[in-house]
Chains A and B, each alone.
Chain A
Amino acid sequence: MTAALRRHGWSYLFVLPTFSLFVVFTLLPVAQGLVLSLQDARVTGGSFIGLANFGTLADDPVFRQALGNTVLYATVVVAAQVTLALIVASLIQPLGTKSRVFYRALFYLPLVNSAILVAIVWRWIFNPNPFGLANATLGVFGLGPFLWIGSSDQALLAVILSAVLTVPGGGVVLYSAAMGSLPRELYEAADLEGAGPFAKWRHITVPLLRPTTLYLVVVYTILAFQIFERVYIMTNGGGPNNATITIVQLIYSTAFQFGRYGLASAMAVVLFVMAMVVAVAQFRSLRTDVEY
């Protein structure tokens, strides 16, 4: 044992700081989160209640609203982001190296900013008052003013629009990098057959980019499931009649405003399972992927 320790001591020393922090602040919390979801944990303490929290969630109209809003937001925003990234990257690709570098930077710059900053600006753009930029702009065409974040019908639309109206820079960079490494022979063969630029894009580029597309769909979906800051800032944490309530927003208020830690942990477990389902789906479709 001491011989082994002497031989491997350095290895353990190198791993020790990260791994001990990881165990205390990630691994054990994940386990404790699962345990808490089975407890009636409140500020005053709690007891084991099995799956009762999940039953409570299933019957809770606010949680169902949060789940529905989160899935709707993720579906629309991910579809829009991946499509936008693909289109922008495709437009950038045939340009010269200098232009490519410029545009990648241009589209990545907005992403440096925190969700909070971005949400603060969007809150103002979709302000119900006439001085809100969306209303002022639409007013030029004689439309509105709309209530946007002040109305239970339009608040979620405003939140979704705020996410859709920004080109996803990370996706552009990844698509752009993937396009650079596609095999040229296929395009040359297509040229010989007289295929036009759109036919080549539709039948060669898009299918070959499938691994990148899958990766982006999964990462963006998991990120979208965790939407919190936009809702917290744009609509004061849920909007009129919980119109924009999301799972993470509800976890936050259930745990840290109402002290129902067990119930909030059960919501976190639901979120965890949603993320896992998406990740596993990606893994399975990647395995059946075409090689080139």
Chain B
Amino acid sequence: MSSTNRLPVHVLLIVAGVLSLFPLYWLFLTSLSPTQYVVRVPPEVVPRELTVGNYQPIVRWLVNTVVIAGVITLFHLLFDSMAGYAFAKRRFPGKDVMFWLVVSTLTVPAQVTLIPVFFILRTLGLLDTYPGVILPGLADVFGVFLMKQFIQTLPTEYEHAARVDGASEWQVYRHIIVPLSRPALAVLAIFTFQRYWNAFIFPLVILRDPAKYPVQVGLATLQGEFNTDYGMLMTGAAVAALPLIAVFFAFQRYFIEGIRIGGVKG
């Protein structure tokens, strides 16, 4: 196709992209506008005056979110690569049954386990605690599947060579499998962090104390049925969006790669 032919295509794509991005732009714009301008008629698409006064009470929720999503991600990197390695490369009795059980729950909607998990946490005395939010997050098996698929493609010769040299099974995992799995671990880290950064219904149900809320739940409580402080709400939403946008720009190719490996579910 000649480049003159392509111009309308570019225009069309850019317009569609800008439309998709518009909510984001709107979010940042309003978060920086003093409240009196937020409810202006007509809405001002170009700001007249900017402020950062809306940004204070959100910080606590952000820290909570970083802790919750961060801890869950670290554990997933360790546990999923271990299990993925065992399922991909090792032979042991019960392996097929275990893997079949894991895969068979991949399509179960999370809401099915919501009420029973709530009961279990209540029994364990973990309602309204961070471990109560983190532990169920460690049970999701998407990462095991992802790591198994990747580790399967690694050549077996390195492991054999390491064992001949007297490496223990743990050393084989730690010094052969983990370094070779870095691309998959990067994808897993990004997807897991994004997923738990954005988690909503589980923390909403499990946590009571607003001081423990992750940012998504905190934001949802900011909107009242009749009175909503839009300045505050949009500000919080903008701040909550920033970290993931930064992560996206830093690790963009892993996001795209991750969709290709793991599908759109993550």
A36 / chain B contacts, CB cutoff of 8 Å: 115-116
Complex contacts, B79 vs chain A, CB 8 Å: 17-18, 21
A residues in contact with B248, CB < 8 Å:
108-109, 112
Within the complex, the shortest CB–CB distance from A80 to chain B, in Å, comes to 13
Q: Does B184 contact A (CB under 8 A)?
A: no
Q: A114 contacts the other chain (Cβ, under 8 Å)?
A: yes
Stretch among A58-66, A116-124, A201-209 lining the B interface:
A116-124
Chain B window 1-38, contacts with chain A (Cβ cutoff 8 Å), 1 for yes, 0 for no: 10000100110110011011101101100100000000
Stretch from A25-33, A49-57, A71-79 forming part of the interface with B? A25-33
Count residues of B near A (Cβ-Cβ below 8 Å). Answer: 91
A136 touching B26 by the CB < 8 A rule?
A: no
Interface string of A76-101 (1 = CB under 8 A from B): 00000000000010011011000100
List the one stretch of B51-59, B139-147, B154-162 in contact with chain A. B139-147
Contact of B144 with A174 in the complex, beta carbons under 8 Å: no
CB-CB contacts of B56-97 with A at 8 A, as 1s and 0s? 000000000000000000000011101101110011110100
Distance between Cα atoms of A206 and B135 in the complex (Å): 43
The distance in angstroms between the C-alpha atoms of A21 and B135, with both chains bound, is 8
State whether B80 touches A11 (Cβ < 8 A). Answer: no
Please name all residues of chain A whose beta carbon is closer than 8 Å to the beta carbon of B225 when the two chains form the complex. 236
Please indicate the chain A residues that have their CB under 8 angstroms from the CB of B220 in the complex: 116, 232-233
Interface residues in A260-286 by Cβ distance below 8 A to B read 261, 264-265, 268-269, 271-272, 275-276, 279
The answer to whether B80 touches A18 (Cβ under 8 A) is yes
- Is A256 part of the binding interface, using a Cβ–Cβ cutoff of 8 Å? yes
Given contacts A8-B92, A268-B115, contact A19 B170 (CB under 8 A): no
Q: Does B48 contact A (CB under 8 A)?
A: no
Q: Is B112 an interface residue (CB 8 A)?
A: yes
The residue in chain A whose Cβ has the minimal distance to the Cβ of B107 is: A279
Binds B, one of A153-161, A163-171, A183-191: A163-171
Please give me the residue from chain A that is nearest to B30 by CB atom.
Answer: A124
Q: Is the CB–CB distance between B105 and A30 below 8 Å?
A: yes
Complex interface: chain B residues within 8 A of A21 (CB)? 79, 135, 138-139
- Is B109 within 8 A of A225, CB to CB? yes
Q: Which of B120, B139, B263 contacts A215 (CB 8 A)?
A: B263
Size of the A side of the interface (Cβ < 8 Å), in residues, is 92
Q: Is A248 engaged at the interface, CB distance under 8 Å to the other chain?
A: yes
The answer to whether A167 and B20 have CB atoms under 8 Å apart is yes
Q: Which of B1, B24, B113, B264 contacts A94 (CB 8 A)?
A: B1
In angstroms, how far is the closest chain A Cβ from the Cβ of B21? 6
The answer to whether A32 and B116 touch across the interface, beta carbons within 8 angstroms, is: yes
Chain A residues closer than 8 Å to B264, beta-carbon distance: 170-171, 174, 216, 219-220
Q: In chain B, residues 169-217, which have Cβ atoms closer than 8 Å to a Cβ of chain A? A: 169-170, 173, 194, 197-198, 200-201, 205, 216
The answer for the CA separation of A23 and B41 in the assembled complex, in Å, is: 55
Contact A110–B140 (Cβ < 8 Å)? no
Please state if A114 and B198 are interface contacts (CB–CB under 8 Å): yes
Q: A105 → chain B, closest Cβ, in Å?
A: 6
CB contacts under 8 Å to A, within B94-128, are: 95, 98, 101-102, 105, 107-120
Selected from B90, B205, B234, the residue in CB contact (under 8 A) with A256 is: B205
A29-B117, A268-B111 given; A14·B173 CB < 8 A: yes
A136 to B43, CA, bound (A): 7
Nearest neighbor of A118 in chain B, beta-carbon distance: B23
Is A173 part of the contact surface with B, judged by Cβ < 8 Å? yes
User: CB distance A228 to B112 under 8 Å?
Assistant: no
* Min CB–CB distance B7 → chain A (angstroms): 11
Residue of B nearest to A104 (CB): B256
Does A222 touch B at the CB level, under 8 Å? yes
A22 within 8 Å of B by Cβ? yes
A15-B83, A26-B141, A174-B260 are known contacts. Are A122 and B135 too (CB-CB below 8 A)?
no
- Does A288 make an interface contact (CB < 8 A)? no
Chain B nearest CB from A103 CB (Å) reads 6
Collect the chain B residues with CB atoms within 8 Å of residue A255's CB: 114-115, 118
Rounded to whole angstroms, the CA-CA distance of A170 and B263 in the bound complex is 8
Given contacts A113-B24, A269-B112, A271-B112, list 14 more A-B pairs with CB under 8 A.
A17-B79, A19-B98, A25-B139, A27-B101, A36-B115, A36-B116, A95-B10, A106-B17, A113-B244, A136-B42, A228-B200, A265-B116, A271-B109, A272-B108
Sampled A-B contacts (8; CB under 8 Å): A8-B92, A11-B92, A15-B82, A26-B105, A109-B21, A116-B220, A120-B223, A165-B19
4 A-B pairs with the lowest CB-CB distances in the bound complex, closest first: A170-B264, A114-B198, A25-B139, A29-B116
